[in-house]
Structure 1
Amino acid sequence: MRMSQGVEWAVHTLLNLAWSDTGEAVSVATLAEGHDLPRAYLNKQLQQLVKAELLDSVPGARGGFLLARPAESITLLDVFDAIEGTDPLFRCTEIRQCGTVGTRTACGFTTACAVKTAMGRAEEAFRGALAAQTLADVRTQADTHAPSMNRTVRSAFGLV
């Protein structure tokens, strides 16, 4: 499985908005410039975050985006699902029942496919790990490595 860049961009953007934390909306242009991202593509990701109720969109000349919820209540799974969707990562097409192997089996296929079951357990662990981490957790970890990031982001966004 490979995540799209949109997940990385979304988490960093949410993190930057958590650091900016002034109650002022930040424009898509400012957010995109913060990491040299293409504005149109970032805006697409931001609209998905608005739809998922992770961001609020403020219209107008001084509009932009704000966190819709506290960072403590936004999980990495929320972000992943907003950008990648909630469809299962693995789709079993029951190839065990096809071809020369499938037509020669005597088991009757009354139990769940073992491959599907194993992949389901893996996805459940993946989603559980994302659900267990909030944006606030990521911010705390990032603050440990770069304690001045909130000032850096506010300065870069002209919010000082």
Structure 2
Amino acid sequence: MASSPPLAADPADVTAGFRGAMRRLASGVAIVVARGDDLPVGMAATSITSLTMDPPAVLLCINQSAGIHPCLSPGCPISVNILSRHQRDVSAAFGGAVPRDRRFEVGQWASDVHDLPALDDAQANLACTIDSMTPFGTHSIVVARVETVRLSDSVEPLIYQDGAYL
């Protein structure tokens, strides 16, 4: 059996190795939406996970340099839209391929209970309220309580790994 390369100890090597390790982790893709100053703002995200069932809550990790970050604070509503396999165009738009003021022109959107955009044919739509935010390094760890859920009939998630969709 071939031996593995040694573990990295140099900080630059650890950072590069960690980036490579995380690229190997497949993730579902979601669009997170919040209220902006005059229009809703949204971003594609893969760092979303369930946190608890009681109370229902999700955990999101949002880069502090992301355009949506200034719109996030405890008590603010957010919409989390878990994408279906056929929604690569929506993911690309909210990942930066489309200017921010035109992103909601991609896909079919309706309003959720907080009057935020919710993607009509997403795998699931979660209407949430931010409970807490904790800064860590370049990101904020956002805990949001889930208030309403809408599910699609089929289960065909959009999966992202190593810079590409599966």
TM-score range, shorter chain: under 0.3
TM-score, scaled to structure 2? 0.23
Say which structure is richer in helix.
1
Say which structure is richer in strand.
2
Whose Rg is larger?
Answer: 1
